[in-house]
Amino acid sequence: MKKTYSRKEIKGFIDVANLSELKKAMNTWHSPEIAGLVETLPDNQKAIVFSVLPAVAVVKTFKVLELATRKSLIKHLEHEQAAKILNEIQPDDRTEFLSELPGKTVKELLKLLSEKERKVTLSLLGYPNHSVGRLMTPDYIAVKQDWTVKHVLDYVREHGQDKETVNVIYVIDDNGKLIDDIRIREFLFVTHEKKVSELMDYKYISFVVTDKEESAINVFRKNNRVALPVTDEFGILLGIITIDDVLRLAEKEETEDIQKIGGLEVLDEPYMNIPFLKLMKKRSGWLIILFLGEMLTASAMGHYADDYQKVWQLGLFLPLIISSGGNSGSQASTLIIRAMALGEVTLRDWWRIMKREIFSGLFLGFVLGGIGFIRVLTWTLFTPIYGPHYFLIALVVGFALIGVVLWGTLSGSMLPLILKRAGADPATSSAPFVATLVDVTGLIIYFSVAVLILKGIML
Amino acid sequence: MKKTYSRKEIKGFIDVANLSELKKAMNTWHSPEIAGLVETLPDNQKAIVFSVLPAVAVVKTFKVLELATRKSLIKHLEHEQAAKILNEIQPDDRTEFLSELPGKTVKELLKLLSEKERKVTLSLLGYPNHSVGRLMTPDYIAVKQDWTVKHVLDYVREHGQDKETVNVIYVIDDNGKLIDDIRIREFLFVTHEKKVSELMDYKYISFVVTDKEESAINVFRKNNRVALPVTDEFGILLGIITIDDVLRLAEKEETEDIQKIGGLEVLDEPYMNIPFLKLMKKRSGWLIILFLGEMLTASAMGHYADDYQKVWQLGLFLPLIISSGGNSGSQASTLIIRAMALGEVTLRDWWRIMKREIFSGLFLGFVLGGIGFIRVLTWTLFTPIYGPHYFLIALVVGFALIGVVLWGTLSGSMLPLILKRAGADPATSSAPFVATLVDVTGLIIYFSVAVLILKGIML
């Protein structure tokens, strides 16, 4: 990497609007670096940097900018420049960008597109959100099976320049139906006279345009491909999906999953860039729901008020017991959410998962219950706090732990499956959500065990 | 996709060892499908399927198998077949596979490699774990800048067959120093007489061999490349990293992060395949640590035993208050862990994060505290349970919530940074870990607020 200008120098050029020096400097930078710089500039200065970039760099840089920056940039650019960017970015990137904007803005921007590009974009926007149709680009190279290798290479030379990738060549029949895909290297390894049909193995993997975006990630992970074709339901080739878009999509999906598991709404913007009030809205939503749910503990506690006034020692272990349920539940739900996202388990495995988690819950319950039981007995040697019935209290703690951990594990593992079955995202069964659910029920389990064991003796 | 044989038919062929039919059937299948089939077979039958596969399919299929399957398969294959697989898979995949095996097995397997492959593998294994050196393949095409395009294409034709990718060609000087990378398409678009130097722009992005694997993921995300070069500290080209390996690495890293956030040790194996006792070991470790930590709540409660015997109503809100701290803490830590993984924030931003989280904590605390305060006052209209000092109790609940939520938010957001500073993985500050930490301190905050407000009146 060559870097002959420092960031400070560049900012100096921008401040005094020395466009010729700025242009020279930008020429030595890579688009990710330029993007990094643009992110840190105030909105009006972003447009200045873009005004001096060569067309290729404009498109490359725009593509890697944060969504928020792209939005504000598009607003600050002159119409001509915005049109240039929109027309020159790849159709799939344009679709992705437009689909994040409000409908009104999209309409405005569509006007800036050329007739041809508008047609492509509108057709891509027509596919359902989160379908592979939204992810694909129609910029691919398709050839016929009776062509010679020379014909193909000439064709690539002539039409390849503005295609997103020429690494894979697609073979279609006269109706446009996909019949094979061949890597460009195969054409390099053979003589020019060979026919395309001689290179074909009729083996290919393809998506249907309505397939879910998420499924594309797993297919790319399992197959070593840089691009895969997309067809309609009749097998007509419509476009291709490239692995760089899949890598970015995977990142977005993981971030969403992780944020949901952590118990907040998906941010859609980097932590440092999101406005404070928007961040609060995303975070307070779930916290309030969880808080309202957790209020049930206060009601449940009210129900057992008599009992724990009589045996106040029960209160000592309350946080310990309900949090153990919450922890084992968070663990189980995270495990299943991730296994589902990776396609390791599906809804049909529910019974196998349940069996596994019943045994897991019992095992973990006995371990923690055992430790709790021993804890009470040991402390009794040093403090009179548990009173004469310390052994019974130890039993209550031990058995309650077994019950609560088993219950936590089971509900934590089943909740993602139930959510999936109901058509919701399994990752919604976040760690805090499961913990709250198990807190309320764990409390009831604890006091029920206490009543069962202490009835007639202490209660 | 053609599928003329059903899975059941195939299993039939395997059972009666009808190898010729099996071979024919396998020929119509893709390697991911074959891998899917192999995963479901008993260990001894896995080797049968592999014995009929053509060399290319053997390598492709082996590459996408689960690690556990690969391990058992290698053991069950005859030495010759194992040697064939090991010699034919790409060096980077081989290195990845070998580095997951115990040292003794690696030694055994290294013997099966040819002289040349052994040398390559040993050199790759020499790079530190989790460095990009482990991820790279030395199977790339390097050319000199004074070559003609025709020379390059001839060279690709001759040497490209066994290279992992020919999509990017690397230009090196006489010392082997990397000076540029050029996409293969650029060679297709120009006349055969042009010199390589005329295609060069001297702009490239490269890794140093000791760079962290994780950093590679973010570089690939920001740049639209299918392969990037790796050099030593002096700029000598050593190998390349391909995007398909990065996609798989990203998946592994995300899984590890998610499992850590969920409060369990990294599994390293799919949920359904991992042996029960191993799963229990991975899960019980953290649960026991959290349980021991949570025991401090029992001790803390003991400390305030007098107080909550006098004002037993305080117990009613205990689960509500400590869990609110836990939830806000889990949320904050998840947010920061993910932002760090994506490179959105770094350690140097700690003060900006802290400021942001102090305001967030106060905001969220006032929201939840307000709801809690109103909750107590409202219930008082329907139940006498809170006694004559219900207003004071409402105040205790409200102020305790502000304190606990602020504290939870702050510790949740700072913990990942502290862990990172200490050289540990930020994701270790899992939701359950933060929740447990905040439970203990939240309890102390709650009772301190209670003592402060109720002193002399109820306490």
Asked if A118 and A12 sit in the same domain, the reply is yes
Contact list in A for residue B327 (CB cut-off 8 A) is: 263, 286-287, 290-291, 432, 435-436
Asked if B181 and B78 sit in the same domain, the reply is no
Phi and psi (nearest 5°) for B265?
Answer: -70, 150
Question: Inter-chain contact B290–A323, Cβ cutoff 8 Å?
Answer: yes
Asked if B153 and B119 sit in the same domain, the reply is no
Question: Inter-chain contact B368–A280, Cβ cutoff 8 Å?
Answer: no
Asked if A117 and A153 sit in the same domain, the reply is no
Highest mean pLDDT among A141-145, A339-343, B20-24, B273-277: A141-145
Strand ranges of the sheet holding A237-242, from the earlier edge strand across to the other edge: A207-208, A227-231, A237-242
pLDDT of residue A103: 62
- Looking only at Cα atoms, what is the longest distance across chain B? 97
Task: Identify whether B258 is part of a domain.
Answer: no
Work out the pLDDT band at B372, boundaries 50, 70, 90. very high
Nearest CB to B432 within list A244, A251, A331: A331
Query: Is B217 a residue whose pLDDT tops 50?
Result: yes
Name residue B303's amino acid: H
Work out the pLDDT band at B107, boundaries 50, 70, 90. low
Tell which residue, B420, B166, B68, B32, has the closest CA to residue A219.
B32
Q: How far apart are CA A365 and CA A370, in angstroms?
A: 8
Give mean pLDDT, residues B228-237.
Answer: 89
Query: Is B103 a residue whose pLDDT tops 70?
Result: no
**Closest chain A CA to residue B2:** A203
Q: Which of A156, A291, A348, A434 is the mutation pick for testing B, counting most B CBs within 10 A?
A: A291
* CATH code of the domain in which B232 resides: 3.10.580.10
Query: Is B4 a residue whose pLDDT tops 70?
Result: no
Name residue A98's amino acid: L
pLDDT in tens, B415-425: 999 988 888 88
Question: Inter-chain contact A258–B258, Cβ cutoff 8 Å?
Answer: yes
pLDDT in tens, B297-326: 888 888 888 887 888 888 889 889 988 998
Torsion on CA atoms B98, B99, B105, B109, rounded to nearest 10: 30
Is residue B351 classed exposed, middle or buried when 0-12, 13-18 and 19+ CB atoms within 10 A define those classes?
A: exposed
Torsion on CA atoms B96, B30, A231, A138, rounded to nearest 10: 40
- Asked if A426 and A419 touch (Cβ cutoff 8 Å), the reply is yes
pLDDT of residue B1: 41
Query: Is A425 a residue whose pLDDT tops 80?
Result: yes
Using only the alpha carbons of chain A, give its radius of gyration: 30
Task: Identify whether A400 is part of a domain.
Answer: yes
Contact list in B for residue A251 (CB cut-off 8 A) is: 221, 250, 342
Q: How far apart are CA B456 and CA B454, in angstroms?
A: 6
Asked if A339 and A202 sit in the same domain, the reply is no
Beta strands in B184-299 (DSSP E): 207-208, 227-231, 237-242
Task: Identify whether B137 is part of a domain.
Answer: no
Question: Inter-chain contact A224–B203, Cβ cutoff 8 Å?
Answer: no
Nearest CB to A364 within list B160, B283, B371: B283
**Range of weakest confidence among A229-233, A269-273, A417-421, B113-117:** B113-117
Asked if B291 and B432 sit in the same domain, the reply is yes
Residue-averaged pLDDT of chain A: 85
Q: H/E/C letters for each residue in A299-343?
A: HHHHHCHHHHHHCCHHHHCHHHHHHHHHHHHHHHHHHHHHHHHCC
Q: How far apart are CA A112 and CA B84, in angstroms?
A: 58
**Who wins on pLDDT, A108 or B146?**
B146
Nearest CB to B298 within list A156, A185, A320: A320
Contact list in A for residue B274 (CB cut-off 8 A) is: none
Contact list in A for residue B259 (CB cut-off 8 A) is: 334-335, 338
- What share of chain A in percent tops pLDDT 90? 26
Nearest CB to A315 within list B222, B301, B338: B301
* CATH code of the domain in which B30 resides: 1.25.60.10
Residue B19 tokens, joined: 């190898």
Asked if A252 and A375 sit in the same domain, the reply is no
State the smallest CA–CA distance between residue A76 and chain B in angstroms.
24
pLDDT of residue B382: 84
Contact list in B for residue A4 (CB cut-off 8 A) is: none
Q: How far apart are CA A68 and CA B426, in angstroms?
A: 27
Question: Inter-chain contact A226–B204, Cβ cutoff 8 Å?
Answer: no
Question: Inter-chain contact A251–B315, Cβ cutoff 8 Å?
Answer: no
- Asked if A320 and A442 touch (Cβ cutoff 8 Å), the reply is no
pLDDT of residue A107: 67
Task: Identify whether B234 is part of a domain.
Answer: yes
Last residue of a domain, one of B80, B97, B126: B126
**Closest chain A CA to residue B153:** A188
Using CA of residue A259, residue A263, residue A264, residue A266, what is the dihedral sign?
Answer: positive
- What share of chain B in percent tops pLDDT 70? 97
Question: Inter-chain contact A334–B264, Cβ cutoff 8 Å?
Answer: yes
State the smallest CA–CA distance between residue B7 and chain A in angstroms.
18
pLDDT of residue A4: 66
End-to-end CA distance of chain B: 77
Roughly what angle, to the nearest 10 degrees, separates helices B19-27 and B43-52?
70
**Closest chain A CA to residue B191:** A157
**Closest chain A CA to residue B249:** A221
Question: Inter-chain contact A436–B327, Cβ cutoff 8 Å?
Answer: yes
Task: Identify whether A103 is part of a domain.
Answer: yes
Nearest CB to B221 within list A60, A248, A364: A248
Last residue of a domain, one of A228, A256, A284: A256
Residue B449 tokens, joined: 């607020």
Asked if A213 and A148 sit in the same domain, the reply is yes
Torsion on CA atoms A333, A336, A339, A342, rounded to nearest 10: -70
Give mean pLDDT, residues A161-167.
Answer: 77
Residue-averaged pLDDT of chain B: 85
pLDDT in tens, A365-409: 999 999 999 999 998 888 887 788 889 999 999 999 999 999 999
Q: How far apart are CA A153 and CA A151, in angstroms?
A: 6
Torsion on CA atoms A94, A97, A100, A104, rounded to nearest 10: -60
pLDDT of residue A196: 94
Nearest CB to B263 within list A188, A204, A327: A327
pLDDT of residue B2: 46
Question: Inter-chain contact B305–A385, Cβ cutoff 8 Å?
Answer: yes
Q: Which of A62, A308, A327, A363 is the mutation pick for testing B, counting most B CBs within 10 A?
A: A327
Nearest CB to B371 within list A60, A202, A288: A288
Work out the pLDDT band at B148, boundaries 50, 70, 90. very high
State the smallest CA–CA distance between residue A101 and chain B in angstroms.
22
pLDDT of residue B292: 87
Task: Identify whether B58 is part of a domain.
Answer: yes
Strands A168-172 and A178-183: antiparallel
Q: Which of B254, B310, B386 is the mutation pick for testing A, counting most A CBs within 10 A?
A: B254
End-to-end CA distance of chain A: 77
Give mean pLDDT, residues A343-363.
Answer: 91
Contact list in B for residue A161 (CB cut-off 8 A) is: 189
Query: Is A197 a residue whose pLDDT tops 90?
Result: yes
State the smallest CA–CA distance between residue B374 and chain A in angstroms.
12
Domain count, chain B: 3
Give mean pLDDT, residues A143-164.
Answer: 87
Work out the pLDDT band at B409, boundaries 50, 70, 90. very high
Question: Inter-chain contact B284–A435, Cβ cutoff 8 Å?
Answer: no
- Asked if A262 and B431 touch (Cβ cutoff 8 Å), the reply is yes
Question: Inter-chain contact A224–B60, Cβ cutoff 8 Å?
Answer: yes
pLDDT of residue A371: 94
pLDDT of residue B104: 63
Range of the domain at A318: 276-454
Question: Inter-chain contact A315–B318, Cβ cutoff 8 Å?
Answer: yes
* CATH code of the domain in which A420 resides: 1.10.357.20
Residue-level length of chain B:
459
pLDDT of residue B270: 84
Angle at A34 between CA A32 and CA A36, to 5 degrees: 70
Nearest CB to B334 within list A161, A259, A360: A259
Task: Identify whether A131 is part of a domain.
Answer: no
pLDDT of residue A105: 72
Q: How far apart are CA B22 and CA B34, in angstroms?
A: 12
Give mean pLDDT, residues A249-276.
Answer: 83
- Asked if B241 and B132 touch (Cβ cutoff 8 Å), the reply is yes
Strand, helix or coil at B206?
coil
CA distances from A455 to A451, B89, B312 (A): 5, 68, 21
State the smallest CA–CA distance between residue B80 and chain A in angstroms.
26
Nearest CB to B247 within list A246, A272, A367: A246
pLDDT in tens, A311-343: 888 888 988 998 899 889 988 998 898 888 888
Is residue A142 classed exposed, middle or buried when 0-12, 13-18 and 19+ CB atoms within 10 A define those classes?
A: middle
Contact list in B for residue A330 (CB cut-off 8 A) is: 262-263, 431-432
How many inter-chain contacts (A to B, CB under 8 Å) are there?
A: 374
State the smallest CA–CA distance between residue B252 and chain A in angstroms.
10
Residue A352 tokens, joined: 């196998």
CB atoms within 10 A of CB B277: 9
**Who wins on pLDDT, A178 or B53?**
A178
Nearest CB to A262 within list B247, B322, B335: B335
pLDDT of residue B122: 67
- Asked if A200 and A180 touch (Cβ cutoff 8 Å), the reply is yes
Asked if A241 and A172 sit in the same domain, the reply is yes
Nearest CB to B244 within list A243, A323, A345: A243
pLDDT of residue B371: 94
Asked if B344 and B288 sit in the same domain, the reply is yes
Question: Inter-chain contact B368–A435, Cβ cutoff 8 Å?
Answer: no
Please give the ipTM for the structure prediction.
0.72
Beta strands in B97-219 (DSSP E): 142-143, 168-172, 178-183, 207-208
Asked if A222 and A323 sit in the same domain, the reply is no
pLDDT in tens, A55-107: 778 878 887 888 778 877 877 777 777 777 777 778 778 777 777 776 667 76
Last residue of a domain, one of A126, A157, A186: A126
Nearest CB to A330 within list B220, B243, B262: B262
**Range of weakest confidence among A3-7, B124-128, B432-436:** A3-7
Task: Identify whether B250 is part of a domain.
Answer: no
Q: How far apart are CA A81 and CA A62, in angstroms?
A: 12
Residue-level length of chain A:
459
Question: Inter-chain contact A263–B331, Cβ cutoff 8 Å?
Answer: yes
Give mean pLDDT, residues B382-410.
Answer: 91
Give mean pLDDT, residues B392-397.
Answer: 93
**Closest chain A CA to residue B335:** A259
Q: How far apart are CA A283 and CA B361, in angstroms?
A: 10
Q: How far apart are CA B297 and CA B439, in angstroms?
A: 7
Asked if A283 and A215 sit in the same domain, the reply is no
Strand, helix or coil at A387?
coil
